[in-house]
A and B are shown apart, each in its own frame.
Chain A
């Protein structure tokens, strides 16, 4: 039995040092009888994981801000595309992702890809909406359609993800309603946006018919005030 004479405390049977003062433990009769050491496992100390995503986000935001600044200085204006490049990922990362995605399922990656690919498109394209036109008219709606269809097919293989898919589709549909309004405001034919909205709405309606209580419950949880 071990004790620390300096602190005057009993120690675990296997202790070589006092955890309080670091003094060597001494083999003496304990004052408290009938206790046995409850062992803890050996732990491998692990450092914090590196900030990969933080670094990526910082580089992206700084380069976007630099592009906007360069646009201001060289062209004496800031194009819609530049703003979009800067703002869209921020809105997505801050607002949509935490609200609509419980976990990074495959469908979530599709939606992420949709956002980032459309950003690439708008960066290189030109039209009446700054550089944003093709992305609004074709890029985002087409990718949304693909995401919705993939989610729909996935529902047959992963029934437990149906409720989550409903909120994804609401997010995708809401984005495309916004794009549809923009298209109409700028005088473009909004076929692709309308198609994406219609597909999302049809799948959501189907889900609501198939599992009304679950979907209502999910929406009540997600959007309750």
Chain B
């Protein structure tokens, strides 16, 4: 039975009562407004397991973990001034994959939760509406689900802290909008940022192509170490170089957006959205002679410099300050939505060419790991983005996935052939069945 405390704080016996509805956290407010007919604001995380998925056990596993994740079993609703997330009882979210990943078929405006659990042969995954949660928290949810699924299959999976123990009660800190807590007024204003070069190709509505590059981590480390780069830095540099090679005549800055999980930065364990973006890039030389090393020097240490609490408080101040502005708060949702939409599509998206997210190393107990081949992360991609990239890593195997709604995949080709030219082994898989015939 759902709790009904609007504030969701503490019940009569000092026990945390989960609220019946949640405000959208600060990072989530943009997604309901940014939705379009072809852009569902979703992302997907999947585990490729060793044997074919059993849908009945998967449904049972969902039912078992649902009470532990009340902030996931929610649906987007429209209020007079703001959207909000209302808890729903329905746990019928398991569907066999039959559409393109992150497809438009509505996750919102239904009576079901704003995510779906998909399965197809050896793949078990989740497609999540981004207002509910971000990649980091969704990965924890998926790990918990798959751990429970494996338990139901009869395997013994120890609870070592890599996923959530479903025997516990939900915690209040898991449902916090931490952005509001971190908001400080006495922080310098955010500097204006130059627009990025935009990659333009013909896109096909309702089409979605994913190209996975499966890469051994040891090969990457061998390349990153001499350059003094992290794997994210290295991938960002290769991606920027691949974009540059696609159009070397371009003189505009080329920038990619890298989401940063704030959980390790600020030490919070919320299961709501808690990440911010930093844009990194370089300005191509006028004579078209930019080399990979030039790009490496341009971006070296940029992400690390941005990943510190002081630097992150600046965009938090801008975002939370704007949302707390009385003129914005009292503006009816119906007017707020087009304004936010315009700001997102016309201003926000011009600052970068594509998004490259890295979920980091997915940790799990060895007893669970032996049943899982690899992890895949897919970004739905924003309307103006013709390309999006996501990285997932399970032990020694990393999966770099390009997604987009175009059949022209020059940049991924540049990207992967650059890696192989450096001696990095790559295995390519795709959802495009043309490769099979």
Interface residues of A (CB under 8 A from B): 4, 7-12, 14-21, 30-32, 35-43, 45-48, 94-95, 98-99, 102-103, 213-214, 216-217, 220-225
Contacts and interface: CB of A to CB of B under 8 A. Distances in A.
B182 interface: no
B99 A43 contact: yes
Given A9-B428, A99-B333, A225-B330, A18 B420 contact: no
A222 B20 CA distance: 12
Contact of A224 (B84, B120, B417): B84
Contacts of A103: 109-111
Contacts of A8: 417, 420-421, 426
Nearest to A11: B428
A47 B426 CA distance: 34
A210 B96 CA distance: 41
Contacts of A36: 122, 373
Interface string B76-98: 01111110101000000000111
A98 B216 CA distance: 49
Given A43-B98, A46-B206, A47-B205, A19 B428 contact: yes
Contacts of A217: 4-6, 20-21
A40 B435 contact: no
The 5 closest A-B pairs by CB, nearest first: A10-B427, A40-B431, A19-B430, A8-B420, A38-B48
A18 B428 CA distance: 8
Nearest to B417: A7
Interface of B: 4-6, 20-21, 23, 37-38, 48, 77-82, 84, 86, 96-100, 109-111, 120-123, 205-207, 210-211, 213-214, 216, 329-330, 332-334, 373-374, 376, 409, 412-413, 416-417, 420-421, 425-437
A8 B419 CA distance: 10
Consensus secondary structure, chain A interface: loop
Given A20-B416, A37-B429, A99 B334 contact: yes
Contacts of B211: 19-20
Contact of B123 (A10, A12, A38, A46): A38
Which of A4, A94, A224 lies at the interface centre, i.e. has the most chain B CB atoms within 10 A of its CB?
Answer: A224
Contact of A30 (B330, B374, B427, B433): B427
Contacts of A94: 334
A213 B120 CA distance: 42
Contact of A99 (B79, B413, B432): B79
B194 to A, nearest CB: 31
Given A10-B426, A35-B214, A99-B333, A41 B98 contact: yes
A48 B425 contact: no
A29 B288 CA distance: 38
Given A40-B97, A43-B98, A224-B23, A7 B79 contact: no
Contacts of B376: 38
B427 A48 contact: no
Q: Give the most central of B4, B21, B82, B429: most A CB within 10 Å.
A: B429
A221 B79 contact: yes
Given A7-B420, A30-B427, A19 B435 contact: yes
B430 to A, nearest CB: 4
Contacts of B99: 43
Contact of A45 (B206, B428, B430): B206
Given A7-B413, A99-B78, A15 B435 contact: yes
Contacts of B426: 8-10, 32
Contact of B80 (A11, A32, A48, A222): A222
A11 B431 CA distance: 12
13 contacts: A7-B413, A8-B426, A9-B213, A10-B425, A12-B435, A19-B409, A38-B374, A43-B100, A103-B111, A214-B20, A217-B21, A221-B77, A221-B84
Contacts of A46: 206
Given A15-B435, A17-B434, A20-B416, 16 more contacts: A7-B428, A8-B426, A19-B429, A20-B409, A32-B427, A35-B214, A38-B48, A39-B122, A48-B37, A48-B38, A94-B334, A95-B334, A221-B6, A221-B21, A225-B82, A225-B330
